[in-house]
Structure 1
Amino acid sequence: MNTNTSNLTNHQTKSAVLFLIFNRPDTTIRVFNKIRKAQPPRLYIAADGPRPDRKNETKLCQEAIFIVQQIDWECEIKTLFRRSNLGCKNAISSALDWFFEHEEEGIILEDDCLPAQSFFYYCDTLLEKYRFDTRIRHIAGCNNGLGKKWGDTTIYFANQTHVWGWASWRRVWKDYDKDLKIYYEDEVGAQLRTIFNNSFVEEIWKNIFKRVKAGEIDTWDYQLAFLNYFNGGLSVNPNVNLISNIGFRKDATHTIDLNSVYSNLPLEEITEITYPKYILPEKQADYSVLNRDYKIDEQIKRHNLLRRRFKRWLRGLF
């Protein structure tokens, strides 16, 4: 067991890394410098192209590409630079297709996901440990618990799939369904019920499912979440935050709320990896994040209040 913090933060990663960039050279250079320190032996870089109606975006995209070309360590490099804009859903999902065509497993970072340096050791270790354990489908780097820990080990398991810095295997991605073609609206409610056992959470995810399937949300990550839900998969999560999302701002695609509690969360480093005795999901960990994001407890409170009012009104009729 390695308990030397210096060794972990100077760890040279064994895994391939996919770096997804677009039009933010200022965040790109911060994440790239973390990758540079980890010195992955194989680096895949995918960049979406500029949107023709956005002033100065071509220049910003070119600046981001220039940054990631400053590779000064021995490394096999593969690039996928788009000339035209594919959008979030198609650009990222196709880049992941490309990455997992070449790699059995690996680490994925977007240009606004700043990793702690020990994140790379964490991913290397868990990719190897759970390589053939099909219960485990995802390794998350972020911790959105805002300081809450689940157990006294380095990691815990959950059902949620967080993608602000993550790692996984080809065995998972091969079943990815960008358009949710194999899943049907009249079936998903019952399946989600087995995971969450909460009608309000079920309705939230059913609505997300419908909107993604209808093409109303230009994203790729909800589809991965559904893939893992519907296959009974577990995610490994760190009990400290190993990824800080530095991209909450007006020019972001999705993270535009400057006041989000998840913006620029402080990074922590791990000094060792310890494991829970039981490989079971921490349901309350998932619920606490969903409750914060969708105010589920408030919805339940309002629902119960209205129900009580209705019962009193009904009794008053007789």
Structure 2
Amino acid sequence: MGTYSQMTPPILFLIFNRPDLVEISFREIRKAKPSQLFVAADGPRAIKEGEAELCEQARRIVDHVDWECEIHTLFRDENLGCRKAVSSAISWFFDHVEDGIILEDDCVPEHSFFRFCGDMLARYRNDERVMCVTGDNFQDGIARGRASYYFSIYNHCWGWATWRRAWNHFDHDLKNWERLRETRFLQKLMPRKSADYWTRAFDSVLTNKVDSWAYIWTFSCWSQNGVTATPNQNLVSNIGFDTRATHTADATSASSRLQSHQIAFPLSHPSRVRRNRKADRYVEKNSFGIQLPDSYSDRVQRKLKKLVSGTKT
């Protein structure tokens, strides 16, 4: 089995019109010194005055590559929008490499993120159960198991990595969702309220009400019964919470204050590839705001506490 431990995997850097954020994120890429760097940028919107110059400023970041590196660029002249621009850039990336890291301009990784992704890409390269590696952890300090990471169905994309063999399943037009929507596909993965939430999310993309590639990628992973390797420490901070953002405009969000931490090496591996359902329920409730009913064990614990205190249930 190969390893990336002594080198950084290829990186796709997705940029647009925020040169200030590009510069901050690029500092961490420069420290990691990937031997292959792919930079993709959507084109400016004609209706946005001054955006063409901002896009040009962001693109000049490639001029600051000062280490031995093979550079590829995909700079669009016209604006494709979030869904098409990002997904087509990732497809372009995997036309050139077998696996790699994807970073957007507002995602700032802790340095150990790069090695974590490299180790995961090497370890699970041929394991089709694992569709994705994320650098994100939204468990608020709760460790899920004793290993360095666990498995989740949620493929958070604020700094992540995957393989060509996984991205080949990207369902661009959600054709499989049209087929699976009327089945119990989602109900088998999650509680009913969560299934209802994701049904609305996928429908909104299918009907073009939401311009999102990420929802499509999540569905694509689920359609293959795939899981995501998730670190027990958060490895990436998102600095893009402002009015310029497409999906993270709320600067008061708790996620905007999420700090990154170093993960220890060598990694401790889980004994088997199996999703952590408690972690997934926590994300559904606390990250997506889905009001889930108490679990049976929670209800039992609460009743026991009331009995001990002498109150009626």
- Is TM more than 0.5 here? yes
2:307 — aligned with what?
A: none
Letter in 2 for 1:229: W
Letter in 2 for 1:70: H
Could you tell me how far 1:278 is from its partner in structure 2?
Answer: 2.5
* Helix, strand or coil at the partner of 1:30: helix
- The runs of at least 4 consecutive aligned structure 1 residues that moved more than 2 Å come to 11-14, 185-189, 293-297
1:247 aligns with 2:222: no
Shift of 1:131: 0.3
Partner of 1:5: none
Shift of 1:209: 1.3
Partner of 2:276: 282
Kept in 1: contact 2:151–2:275 (CA 8 A): yes
Cross-structure match for 1:22: 16
Structure 1 position 187, deviation (Å): 3.3
Equivalent residue letter for 1:26: D
Q: Deviations over 1:251-283 (max 9, x none)?
A: 101101111110141110112111111221011
- Asked if 1:122 is matched to 2:116, the reply is yes
- Structure having the larger proportion of residues in helix: 1
Structure 1, gaps ≥5 residues long: 1-7, 302-318
State the partner residue of 2:256.
263
1:214 maps to 207
SS at match of 1:190: coil
In structure 1, what is the Cα distance between the partners aligned to 2:290 and 2:42?
36
Instruction: Give the structure 2 partner of residue 224 of structure 1.
Output: 217
- Give yes or no for contact 2:11–2:37 (8 Å, CA) kept in 1: yes
Question: 1:185 Cα shift?
Answer: 6.0
* Number of aligned positions between the proteins: 290
Deviation sequence 1:19-58 (CA, Å, 0-9, x none): 0000111110111110011010110000111111112211
Task: Tell whether the 8 Å contact from 1:189 to 1:202 is kept in structure 2 after alignment.
Answer: no
Structure 1 SS opposite 2:176: coil
1:106-255 correspondence to structure 2 within 5 Å: 106-184=100-178, 187=181, 189-196=183-190, 198-255=191-248
Question: 1:265 is aligned with what amino acid?
Answer: L
**After the TM superposition, which of the residue ranges 185-194 and 111-120 deviates more from structure 2?**
185-194
State whether structure 2 residue 36 is matched by structure 1 residue 42. Answer: yes
Q: Deviations over 1:286-310 (max 9, x none)?
A: 111111234333x648xxxxxxxxx
CA displacement at 1:91 relative to structure 2: 0.4
Cα drift, residue 234 of structure 1: 0.9
Q: For residue 95 of structure 1, what is the aligned residue in structure 2?
A: 89
Matches within 5 A, 1:275-314: 275-297=269-291, 300=293
Find the counterpart in structure 1 of residue 54 from structure 2.
60
Distance in 2 separating the partners of 1:289 and 1:277: 23
How far apart are the structure 2 equivalents of 1:222 and 1:188? Answer: 18
Q: Do the aligned residues in 2 keep the contact of 1:29 with 1:68 (CA within 8 Å)?
A: no
Amino acid of the structure 1 residue aligned with 2:29: I
Greater mean deviation of Cα atoms: 176-185 or 91-100: 176-185
Aligned to 1:311: none
Q: Is the 8 A contact 1:12 1:40 kept in 2?
A: no
Cα RMSD of the aligned pairs, angstroms, is: 1.7
> Match of 2:253, SS?
coil
Helix, strand or coil at the partner of 1:68: helix
Q: How far is the alpha carbon of 1:142 from its aligned partner?
A: 0.9
C-alpha distance 112-34 of structure 1, shift in aligned 2 (>3 A): same
> Which amino acid counterpart does residue 173 of structure 1 have in structure 2?
W
Cα distance between partner residues in 2 of 1:84 and 1:295: 36
